Chain A
């Protein structure tokens, strides 16, 4: 079993790598294949909205940038990297409220998300014929034939727009948060 911080780092890198280039970073795939032999869980929620470009340096940089934004404005990496087990729920709750509010702002600012299916959850839906299994996952007694009728359990998420700031032109593309030193 790999450590928490590595898991977090892997999960995020995979998420964004899939989001922007549709592949899982090779080093992570290798590490996990040796470690557990299972695929990465976050992969199932990822959507590939645009081009199926080859993994590039840019996609790596963009993934780091997304982490940087969540850290800079929402302290998300600090939060995920911290061992929160010793703290009482009230302390954790206080911090989470603040982190939730700021991370939510980051998400709203840079990424537009919408449900894959915009009707109410736990209501009956009809799945059109020839749907893309990447966008809709069927659960329970899945049989062939159409139309498929069922109950919507999760509306899904789809990214409709990503508007990230330009990447640093110089150094620092791998920096999620700079070290801070106060000069007295």
Chain B
């Protein structure tokens, strides 16, 4: 049944948003939903962003009855603005960056481990559960504002386009879908965030976009949010006289964003104040962070001002007496943010990679190098690898992918200074590679950076119904099944593994592939496990290719599991071949097919902690 609305949800690392439009109205406007949330105890206010924070209230955290929401008198968790606020005072009970945990493969993402390293008495949730809670919250908001009673307007009955980072692998996508299901959403399709940002731009342009980009162009989408940085490349080609957009490359998941920048400023101010002989107490750090962010935003918005005061009022009764003051200068911003996070580097300068030490502390794998321009250099040079789309990617002398346009997204990119810096670094590379620098018109101006992803997602929902141009995208990685070589076992060494390509990079949505030349004998009734691998850089492999050496270019995911159930044939060995599909909702599936092709069994990702065999 066709749904009444099309709903786009941006489930962000630090902020979430929801936008929607009426499904029946082809030219209908996309609206951003107001999200009522606790901003203080006893106080519910409307915001268009829901901070993706979950606070587990203790018995003595809030006055009794002060957490009521219009749809729930006593919610189990606090979500949104108040969660963020209270969590800053009591971080042991705060779940933050659940989405980054969702894509963190070193931990069991379905186990209740958050808030990370909090004491025993705090109720824990899994990264999946936390994401489900945010979605459930949005569902309650929607249902209370659009669907009184069990009508067809309930969010569970709408087409929901849910965005994920382009860098999410199949596991993280699967877990996101699991969270959506757990929250009661029934018709969910995944969409990559940079694509959503591009759709938002298309929507803002109307038909004029065809004049802005042309065949042969290469658009870099640069999405820098509160907690993560995400890059994608989109090519513009032609088919039967129509412009065709295709997402051809996605970057790695980089845990680096606006929060790192604000923290860097707060540290700087703390040093300044301490150099003046002032002592900063732990409880003042949050205020300092907040003040730094405001001062930064002010200076970014007022290019003529040279400095902004940062005042910390005294705590307790000595308010004026304890007040200390410093200032954030334009020079500080230049040095810490512009030079620190967006340094001018040559196009071949790669970021310092994660240190590999024996006992690595678990916890989120934050980017070791804060220089976003270096991460961008790495992303563009990775595209050297031959891929099916190689011919459509404009390259320089050194092989660096050279975009013809850039589209910014994410809260950080609201600052014109930072956009200009990124463009100027990119232009330097383009000139080095023998191309002309980007003109102003080649920097695409996305409106409303904070809600663009949610808006773009809703627009994509319309596109799927045939209204507007669609960005073609396929598998964002290459996927393999691991096959252990038939060799005598050597103690202390794992049997060498070969990788059989089952889903090539870019395999299009809604298509399927049969994996030729290989049959597996599976025992009916017994669970069989396949090792499952993926690569972000090997784009040249075809379905059925068997690899022996991949020099660190392939990494292992959770295994795929299947049990063949056939009545009355328990224990017999059945030969099957493999088939893969990339679904319309943005996930991929691997199936076992019997020799006669009559029977199919789907392989399920068995996601759990790595090494927990």
Contacts and interface: CB of A to CB of B under 8 A. Distances in A.
A84 B320 contact: yes
B318 interface: yes
B63 A171 contact: yes
B64 A94 contact: no
A78 B319 contact: yes
* B interface, over-half SS: loop
Interface residues of B, number: 24
B40 interface: yes
A165 B321 CA distance: 32
B42 A165 contact: yes
Given A82-B318, A171-B63, A75 B68 contact: no
Interface stretch (A15-23, A95-103, A114-122, A130-138): A95-103
B65 A91 contact: no
B295 to A, nearest CB: 12
A170 B318 contact: no
B317 interface: yes
Given A78-B319, A82-B318, A94 B63 contact: no
Nearest to B315: A180
A172 interface: yes
Contacts of A72: 40
B311 interface: yes
A168 to B, nearest CB: 5
A146 interface: no
Interface in A85-108: 86-87, 91-92, 94-95, 97-99
A168 B311 CA distance: 31
B26 interface: no
Contacts of A75: 313, 319
Contact of B66 (A91, A95, A170): A170
Contacts of A87: 320-321
Contacts of A168: 41-42, 63, 65-66
Interface string B322-336: 010100000000000
Contacts of B325: 94
B320 A95 contact: yes
Interface in A141-172: 165-172
B68 A169 contact: yes
Contact of A170 (B44, B65, B314): B65
Interface string B528-558: 0000000000000000000000000000000
A97 B311 contact: yes
B40 A82 contact: no
B436 interface: no
B283 A182 contact: yes
Contacts of A170: 63-66
A99 B317 contact: no
Contacts of A113: none
Nearest to A73: B40
Nearest to A169: B65
A81 interface: yes
Contacts of B64: 169-171
Contact of B311 (A78, A82, A98, A166): A98
A99 B319 CA distance: 10
A165 B313 contact: no
A168 B64 CA distance: 8
Interface in B31-87: 40-44, 63-66, 68
A75 B319 CA distance: 8
Interface in B283-339: 283, 309, 311, 313-314, 316-321, 323, 325
B43 A79 contact: no
Contacts of A171: 63-64
A51 B321 CA distance: 43
Nearest to B73: A169
Contact of A169 (B66, B283, B311, B317): B66
Nearest to B310: A98
B317 A82 contact: yes
Q: B44, B317, B318, B323: which has the most chain A beta carbons within 10 Å?
A: B323
A72 B43 CA distance: 13
A5 to B, nearest CB: 11
B320 A82 contact: yes
A91 B323 contact: yes
Contacts of A82: 317-321
B40 A94 contact: no
A91 B40 CA distance: 30
Contacts of A182: 282-283
Nearest to B66: A168
Contacts of B316: 78
A184 to B, nearest CB: 10
Contacts of B43: 165-166
B91 to A, nearest CB: 13
A97 B309 contact: yes
A92 B68 CA distance: 39
Interface in A36-62: none
Interface string B10-38: 00000000000000000000000000000
A119 to B, nearest CB: 32
B313 A99 contact: yes
Q: A81, A82, A84, A167: which has the most chain B beta carbons within 10 Å?
A: A82
Contacts of B318: 82
B44 A94 contact: no
Nearest to A172: B63
A165 B63 CA distance: 15
B65 A95 contact: no
Contacts of A99: 313, 319
Contacts of A167: 42
A95 B42 contact: no
Nearest to B323: A95
A97 B44 CA distance: 28
A165 to B, nearest CB: 4
A87 B323 CA distance: 11
A90 to B, nearest CB: 9
Contacts of A165: 40, 42-44
A168 B40 CA distance: 11
Q: B41, B318, B325: which has the most chain A beta carbons within 10 Å?
A: B325
Nearest to A72: B40
Contacts of B320: 79, 82, 84, 87, 91-92, 95
16 contacts: A72-B40, A81-B317, A87-B321, A91-B321, A92-B320, A94-B311, A95-B311, A95-B323, A98-B311, A98-B313, A165-B43, A168-B41, A168-B65, A168-B66, A170-B63, A182-B282
5 closest Cβ pairs, A-B complex: A165-B43, A169-B65, A170-B64, A78-B319, A98-B311
Given A91-B321, A165-B44, A168-B42, 12 more contacts: A79-B319, A94-B325, A95-B320, A97-B311, A98-B311, A98-B313, A166-B42, A167-B42, A169-B65, A169-B66, A171-B64, A172-B63
